[in-house]
A = this chain, B = another copy of it.
């Protein structure tokens, strides 16, 4: 006997839903005694309709509370006029700003936005990518989760165009659209600023290396140190950190040792907060005993004490650019969605960074002193 097949399992026996929920275009047509195609024509202004007819139709639409069914429309049009984005954490104001940027740019061109929150988990992200594909969105913007398996997961989207924002895939051999900032330059600038204050023992807490942006920031850090012939110590580089508690743990570990760094450079806004937490837990005075320099500014960063010095990314602009690149490609104004779009960063100097204490056992060269308003 061949293996028995499944029990039929009829979908839902009692799910008969006889109530008509919405007026259709056909209802409108019947109401004014016109044909369906005429209604469609007046709705979209796509063919001649006399003024009288138009008035009657609009009246009927109003009366029947008719709202066109976008599902049917998209099905027919093979276009959903929808963009989708998946971010690792919707409540991170940095990503929220990116979302706003996309939304604003898209709204002007009549696109709507589907938002996914992967919580930094590839499993959830791939769910969203699948969903986006089933919903036939016109384009996707990814801020890939850090445990992105393989990185070329854009394959999962069929031929739906993708652009990456903020975090770039490590291998960019195939031309993929990326929009963000020049992370090596930004990190380089930031660390050079710390060096200019006189710091020599600088540690970095960076994100996971699966994201090229993290690697780039480490690279910028490396270059800044090398340019001043400062030693590069592996134990001052912590990568793979993206959530707050991990950052706190790493920072405590870094700061507990005897030759502790005099400055800490953090690779994201939440890791900066984690580091701040660590500093406070250890009872260290910031910036006197430890300088803190973060990435991804946030709106309430000035409420913290000390007010945090941070590298600001133009989040809104990143979103808008991503949307522009994507939509341009969708509407075939540009051949392929490729290349990197790098936007400028800005070092927001506040007061979490100061020259290191004089009695610090800084072997070797004495650094030059720079303004950097202490306290």
Q: Does A304 contact B (CB under 8 A)?
A: yes
Q: Which one of A132-140, A190-198, A252-260, A364-372 is at the B interface?
A: A132-140
Q: Does A21 contact B (CB under 8 A)?
A: yes
Contact with B along A242-278 (1 / 0, CB 8 A): 0010000000000000000000000000000100110
Number of interface residues of A (CB under 8 A): 63
| 19 residue pairs from A and B, CB less than 8 Å apart | A2-B50, A5-B51, A5-B54, A6-B45, A6-B49, A8-B48, A9-B46, A67-B133, A67-B158, A68-B134, A69-B75, A90-B90, A90-B99, A90-B115, A91-B96, A112-B131, A244-B300, A273-B300, A277-B303
A residues whose Cβ falls under 8 Å from a Cβ of B: 2-3, 5-6, 8-11, 17, 21-22, 44-52, 54, 65, 67-72, 74-75, 78, 80, 90-91, 93, 96-97, 99-100, 103, 112, 114-115, 117, 130-131, 133-136, 158-159, 244, 273, 276-277, 280, 299-300, 302-305
The 3 closest A-B pairs by CB, nearest first: A91-B96, A70-B134, A91-B93
Contacts A68-B134, A99-B117, A273-B300 aside, 11 further interface pairs with beta carbons under 8 A come to A5-B49, A8-B47, A9-B45, A11-B44, A11-B46, A21-B78, A67-B134, A70-B135, A71-B135, A91-B96, A277-B303
